[in-house]
Amino acid sequence: MTENGLNGNGASRGGDDKVRVAIVGVGNCANSFIQGVQYYKDADPSDQVPGLMHVDLGGYHVNDIEFVAAFDIDQEKVGKDLSEAMWSGQNDTIKFADVPNLGVTVERGMTLDGLGKYLKQVITKAPGPTADIVQILKDTKTDVLVCYLPVGSEDAVKWYVEQAIAAGVGFVNCLPVFIASQDYWDNRFKEAGLPIIGDDIKS
């Protein structure tokens, strides 16, 4: 438990030494991440592995990453298993690994500004209300919420950041919206005893 009484991230949540990951935005970048976990799952930590900076990070191997939840707004992705949704809609990235059924159904996410004027021309929003993100994160014992929303989704990113804090999970911001680099959000996560990483993948 964190100081504010929320469930903190880590083994105390999942109890199986896995890093339980939820994804927001099942696009091409998320697709490559999911494939990468499958591709490198048997990598030898003692080797220099092309394309991978660290096989083992802080005692966690690539194969310790477990996908437990996913959120999107695309009608062609919502309701499908994550392994199928990652190839649906406008996704067109290169396939380099066979991802098995993950047992994770993509839930209806929040839109806000996450659907730009060009995406609106090719994507139909899934019907129905936004799923209870906080409850799903708690029910799945998510450790980290990884955000792959489209560039420019500032309001949507901030909304999901609030969901992560409310659920007591860490947050990885993979797009260039200033979150981790801002004192306001940095302090919010420190107060909650939660990690935040970003902004924009490696910055």
Write out pLDDT tens, residues 97-110. 999 999 999 999 99
pLDDT band at 8 (very low <50, low <70, confident <90, very high): very low
- Separation CA 69–CA 64 (nearest Å): 15
Question: What integer pLDDT is reported at residue 192 of this predicted model?
Answer: 98
Domains of the chain: 11-43+50-186 (3.40.50.720)
- Residue type, position 8, single letter: G
Question: What integer pLDDT is reported at residue 202 of this predicted model?
Answer: 59
- What tokens were used for 111? 């839109």
Q: Is the pTM of this model over 0.85?
A: yes
- Separation CA 55–CA 113 (nearest Å): 35
- Chain-centroid distance of CA 70 in Å reads 7
Question: What integer pLDDT is reported at residue 184 of this predicted model?
Answer: 96
For the residues 8-13, what does the mean pLDDT come to? 37
Instruction: Please name which of 156, 23, 140, 154 lies closest in space to residue 91, comparing C-alpha atoms.
Output: 23
- Separation CA 87–CA 31 (nearest Å): 8
pLDDT of residue 69 exceeding 90: yes
Return the H-helix or E-strand segment holding 13.
Answer: helix 11-14
- Residue type, position 2, single letter: T
Contact predicate 23/70, CB 8 Å: yes
**Which residues, 6 or more positions from 188, have their beta carbon under 8 angstroms from its beta carbon?**
165
∠ CA(149), CA(114), CA(82), 5° rounding?
50
pLDDT tens digits for 126-185?
999 999 999 999 999 999 999 999 988 999 999 999 999 999 999 999 999 899 999 999
Phi, psi of 25 (to 5 degrees): 90, 95
pLDDT band at 6 (very low <50, low <70, confident <90, very high): very low
